[in-house]
Amino acid sequence: MGKLLDSGQKLHPRVGVVVTTWSHESGADYARGLVDLFSQTAAGAEVQVVSCPRLLESEGDIAPIQSYLADQQLDAVCLICGNFTLDHVMPLLAQAIRLPALLWALPGREAWGALVAIQQTLFPFKELGLPYKFVTGRLGDARVWARALPFLRACAIVRRLQGLRLGVMGWRAEGMSDVVFDEIALRKTFGVQLVNLGLTRYTRTLQEIPEDEVEVAWREISPSFDTTLLPEKVGRYGARSYLALKRLTAEENLQAVTLECFHDHLGGPCMGFCLMNDQGIPAPCENDVHAAILMAAGQLLSGEPTFHADIVEADYDRNTAVMHHCGNLPLRLASTEPKPALKPIRETVGPGAFGPTIQAWMKAGPVTAINLVGGALGLRVAALEGEILAEKVDLPGSGALMAFPYDLAASLEKMGNAGYGHHFVIVPGHLGVELAEWCALSGVAYLQPEVSSH
């Protein structure tokens, strides 16, 4: 398993399309032509369509259709009735292929009885606990696709997180009870495999990096930053840490990584995390395993890297919050005015603090700030949609000023009373609908305070 997505690459769900029919009913001829017609009308819908040439009419069609779709690496299946269909065959197929289903009901007379058939099959789908999304409308209707795409994108996240290897170095950071994690629950819910590397192995690898490799890496990295205020030995230490993280990632075939930097390694991996996030390897601070999963999901949804941060200051009159962390902000998301700077971390922040932090501000635009926690009460996700403002705030590390078009204090109170935590993954774009669909598919509780309060 390689990187989830290259930066800038968009997620296009891969959807198998199966047309259903009943040859004894009007509209059967239309159903036979629908296999090609659906693909033509879905061309601009941001999905990859795999049309099954065989129609679903009876139980005898299930095995051949299952065989045709088996090796297509599908995220979901779309069942669309070409005309009236005996409804029991649709959940039987969904059970056989074990994929979430988009149930599309055509409303027109040419697809005689199609809406009736879908409405009939919704009952067994729900009773059997099969994952599905019901939509209705004509082929090519952009409004239908707007309702269907968040579900299909969520299906793609579910499949593509399966088998993700997440390197863990250390335990939860000191004083951060809300980042405690349940390895088995994460594997069961998301299919993520935690790879325990340990801080000892990280430290040993750090020491093993040859000085000439550090020299080459520092020469390549430093031009991307303003290094005026950075002692060179601090910059070289950051480059050494980056090379150590890269080596461990390659040795263990990791798609995400996190490290217990707080306190003993504060500042050391900041630059490495910044660069790895840029390269499509989610790398949150402070051994936040949940954040790494969110960063992977956010990268899939947005096609961009993400930023892991805390709310360090809030202005409830303006409904703004200052989001900040030492330096994992990827350069792709950073404003270029002024140029991102490397500065030594304040050594007073804790024992062992040494390394370059990235002083930079996130570019303006729509974002979603997401939190994931999980303990005895189960896994739960909360999301806050807002905008990053161009206004910059004086901070010692990486930051963003986020504005919310609703009562921020009330939203934070609602999150706090539901037991959410302090870390947020900031993802470009407003993604609340997709996140809600992903959580529903994954069996994870979801809270979007500004929506639930309406």
| Amino acid making up residue 6 | D
Q: What is the pLDDT of residues 17-73, one digit of tens each?
A: 999 999 999 999 999 999 999 988 886 779 999 999 999 999 999 999 999 999 999
Q: What is the DSSP letter of 445?
A: E
Shared domain for 102 and 195, answered yes or no, is no
Dist. CA 275–CA 288, nearest whole Å: 18
Are 156 and 38 members of one domain?
yes
Structural domain includes residue 410: yes
The domain boundary residue, chosen from 141, 161, 181:
161
For residue 8, the model assigns a pLDDT of 64
Same-domain status, 192 and 236: yes
Mean pLDDT of the chain: 94
Q: Environment class of residue 271 by beta-carbon count within 10 Å: exposed (0-12), middle (13-18) or buried (19+)? A: buried
The answer to whether 291 and 423 are in contact (CB under 8 A) is: yes
Q: What CATH number corresponds to the domain at position 68?
A: 3.40.50.10940
Domain-located, residue 2: no
Residue 153 and residue 176 share a domain: no
414 domain-assigned? yes
- Whether residue 440 sits in one domain with residue 371: yes
Number of domain units in the chain: 2
Cβ contacts of 72 within 8 Å, gap of 6 or more: 14, 16, 50
Extract the tokens encoding 166.
Answer: 């997440």
A 10 A CB-CB count for 335 gives 17
**Containing structural domain, residue 102:** 14-161
Domain CATH for 405: 3.20.14
The one-digit pLDDT tens for each residue of the chain (454 residues) are: 566 766 567 899 999 999 999 999 999 999 999 999 998 888 677 999 999 999 999 999 999 999 999 999 999 999 999 999 999 999 999 999 999 999 999 999 999 999 999 999 999 999 999 999 999 999 999 999 999 999 999 999 999 999 999 999 998 888 899 999 999 999 999 999 999 999 999 999 999 999 999 999 999 999 999 999 999 999 999 999 999 999 999 999 999 999 998 878 888 899 999 999 999 999 999 999 999 999 999 999 999 999 999 999 999 999 999 999 998 999 999 999 999 999 998 766 667 788 899 999 999 999 999 999 999 999 999 999 999 999 998 888 999 999 999 999 999 999 999 999 999 999 999 999 999 999 999 999 999 998 865 4
pLDDT for the residue 454: 43
